[in-house]
Amino acid sequence: MKRCLVFGGSGALGRVVCRALADEGSRVAFTYHTGEAGARELAPHLKDGLALPLDVSSVRDIERTVDEVACAFGAIDAFVQCAGVAVTMECGGTKSHHRIPEVDEGGWDRIMDVNAKSTFFAVRRVLEPMKRAGGGNIVFIGSVDGVKPAPSPVHYAASKGALAGMTQAMAKELGEDRIRVNMVAPGLMDGGLSRALPDNLRAEYLKHCGLKRVARVPEIAAVVAWLALHNTYVTGRTLLVDGAL
C-alpha cells in the first residue's frame, strides 16, 4: 500500500487526484486551505486518510504538516503538489489577466511563494520520510504556460517555469535515493484555475488545441496518479497534457 501526501487536495484537480490514488488502494493525506467544504466532502472517500488545513505560504506550517503525515504514515511513498494560485481581475464585468504593469511586488511574491517556494520547502521536508520508504515519486502540477509561449500573467508563467527547473535539478540530486521527480503540465481544464481564464484566451486556446476541447479533470489526474504510483524510470521530465496545443 502506497502512502501519499497531496498538497491542495480540496481543489478541482487535487480532489480527483486524491480519489484516483485512493481507488488504487493508497493511503492518502491531503491538505486544504480555503476549500474546507471540498475537504469535508472528500475525506470519507479516502480510507484511513488524513485531511489537514494548511496555508502553504508559511514554511513552518508546511514542515509541521509534512512531519505530521510522516508520523502518522511512518513514511511517504508519493508526494503530489497541487496547491497553486493564478490571478485574474474583474474589469467592467469581463475577466482579464494581469499585464506586466499591473503586477506589483506583493502580487509577484504571493504567486512565487505559493507556487514555487512552498514546493521547494515541502520537498525538502518530504525527503527523509521518502527515503525511509526506500524511494518514491514526487509530482508537481505545472502549466502549459510555463512550457510553451502562451499569453498568461508573467508571474504565473514564471512560477510554473520555476517548477520545471526544480523538476530537473531535483531529479538529478535525488536519483541516488531512488526518488523520481516529474511535472505534469496540463492545458486548460474544465475545472480549477482554468475557469478563471478570460473568455478571449479560452477561445484562442480552443482554436489552437488539436482536440478542440478543454481537458476533463480526470484526464489530467490519471497521468498524475500513474506517475505517483507506478512510475519507476521517468524522472526530471515535464509531461505536457494539452490535447496537441
Partner 1 sequence: MILKDKRVLVTGASRGLGAAMARVFTSEGARVAFTYTRDEEGARETEKTGARAFMCSVLDVPATDAMVRELESSWGAIDILVNNAGLSQNLPVALMEEEDWDRVMDVNVKGTFLTTRAVLPGMVRRKAGTILNIGSLAGVRMLEAPVHYCASKAAIKGLTEALAKEVARHGIRVVCLAPGLLEDGVGRNLPEHRLKDYLKHCALGRVGTLEEVAAFAAFLVSDANSYMTGETVVMDGGV
Local structure of residue 26 (DSSP, 8 states) = -
DSSP 214: P
Single-letter amino acid code for the residue at 159: S
Q: At a CB cut-off of 8 Å and minimum separation 6, what does 71 contact?
A: none
Based on the shown chain and the rule CB under 8 A, indicate whether residue 232 belongs to the binding site for partner 1. Answer: yes
Asked if 92 is part of the footprint of partner 1 (rule: CB under 8 A), the reply reads: no
Candidates 110, 124, 178, 195: give the one binding partner 1 (CB under 8 A).
178
Q: Which stretch binds partner 1 (CB under 8 A): 30-38, 52-60, 113-121, 232-240?
A: 232-240
H-type helices in 3-43, by residue range? 12-23, 36-42
Which CB, 75 or 234, lies closer to partner 1? 234
Question: What are the DSSP calls for 54-123, one per residue?
Answer: --TT-HHHHHHHHHHHHHHHSS-SEEEE------EEEETTEEEEPPGGG--HHHHHHHHIIIIIHHHHHH
Nearer to partner 1, 72 or 169 (CB): 169
What span, in angstroms and rounded, lies between the C-alpha atoms of 233 and 141? 19
Size of the site for partner 1 (CB under 8 A): 36
- Report if residue 145 touches partner 1, rule: CB under 8 A: no
Nearer to partner 1, 65 or 137 (CB): 137
Q: What is the per-residue binding string for partner 1 in 100-139, x denoting contact by CB under 8 A? A: ----------------------------------------
Write down the least CB distance from residue 6 to partner 1, Å: 18
* 115, 187, 205, 224: which one binds partner 1 (CB under 8 A): 187
Q: What is the number of other CB atoms lying within 10 angstroms of the CB of residue 121? A: 18
Element (H, E) at 184: strand 179-186
Residue in 172, 196, 200, 203 binding partner 1, rule: CB under 8 A: 172
Cα angle 229-225-56, degrees, rounded to a multiple of 5: 105
Least separation in angstroms between CB 175 and partner 1? 3
Closest listed residue to residue 28, CA positions, set 71, 76, 60, 67: 76
Report if residue 202 touches partner 1, rule: CB under 8 A. Answer: no
Residue 147 interacts with partner 1 (CB under 8 A): yes or no:
no
| Binding interface with partner 1 (CB under 8 A) | 171-176, 178, 180, 186-187, 209-212, 215-216, 219-220, 222-223, 226, 230-237, 239-245
